[in-house]
């Protein structure tokens, strides 16, 4: 009888943890893309977005597939500049509208004080990037969780040259 109760308790705990895991699993790419296209000024099919983790956080690149697509490039730059400024204020509402409030890492990022995480915007010839960094381990971990979820939900591959460029201790 003791073994039966132990096995039943174990199964119950396992099923509870499995359902909790399912709720935090990133959403399918198509659902995220549909919500995102409604909220961003640029065309998703004309852009490439990558999320590359670094030692102290990560870099989000958003570039036009065509380097001559000036309207897309301007829209990308305006969008990422606005997002970086919102994140600096602790406002992650755009991320919540696209990915939901239970996105991995998001709750911890929202707890950060204004100077705990740096969000540095930079215009690029073909788009823009935001460099995310922190000296606080809990925020670096949250950024890494957030980046992992972004990569899964956006269906992006990392660009090898970006990994080498951004994966130094100086980051």
Residue 128 lies in a domain: yes
Q: What is the DSSP letter of 44?
A: G
Laid out side by side, the sheet with 57-64 consists of 47-54, 57-64, 127-133, 118-124
Model pLDDT for residues 10-61, shown as the tens digit of each residue: 444 444 444 344 444 445 556 656 656 566 767 788 888 899 999 999 999 9
Residue 17 lies in a domain: no
Model pLDDT for residues 54-81, shown as the tens digit of each residue: 999 999 999 999 999 999 999 999 999 9
Residue 21 lies in a domain: no
Least confident of 21-25, 119-123, 136-140, 154-158: 21-25
Residue 59 lies in a domain: yes
Q: Report pLDDT for 95.
A: 83
Q: For the chain, how many structural domains are there in total?
A: 1
Model pLDDT for residues 88-108, shown as the tens digit of each residue: 999 998 888 877 888 999 999
Cβ-based neighbours of 153, under 8 Å, separated by 6 or more: 26, 27, 29, 32, 99
Residue 108 lies in a domain: yes
Residue 141 lies in a domain: yes
**Spacing of C-alpha 44 from chain mean position:** 16
Range of the domain at 144: 28-166
Residue 13 lies in a domain: no
Residue 20 lies in a domain: no
Q: What is the DSSP letter of 134?
A: -
């Amino acid at each position: 009888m003791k073994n039966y109760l132990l096995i039943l308790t174990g199964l119950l705990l396992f099923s509870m943890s499995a359902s909790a895991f399912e709720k935090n699993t990133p959403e399918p790419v198509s659902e995220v893309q549909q919500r995102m296209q409604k909220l961003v000024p640029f065309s998703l099919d004309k852009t490439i977005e990558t999320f590359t983790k670094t030692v102290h956080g990560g870099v989000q690149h958003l570039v036009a597939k065509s380097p001559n697509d000036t309207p897309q490039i301007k829209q990308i730059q305006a969008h990422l500049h606005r997002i970086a400024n919102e994140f600096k204020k602790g406002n992650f509402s755009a991320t919540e509208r696209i990915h939901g409030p239970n996105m991995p890492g998001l709750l911890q990022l929202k707890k950060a004080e204004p100077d705990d995480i740096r969000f540095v915007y930079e215009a690029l010839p073909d788009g823009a990037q935001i460099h995310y960094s922190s000296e606080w381990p809990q925020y670096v971990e949250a950024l890494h969780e957030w980046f992992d979820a972004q990569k899964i939900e956006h269906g992006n591959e990392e660009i090898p040259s970006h990994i080498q460029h951004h994966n130094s201790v100086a980051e």
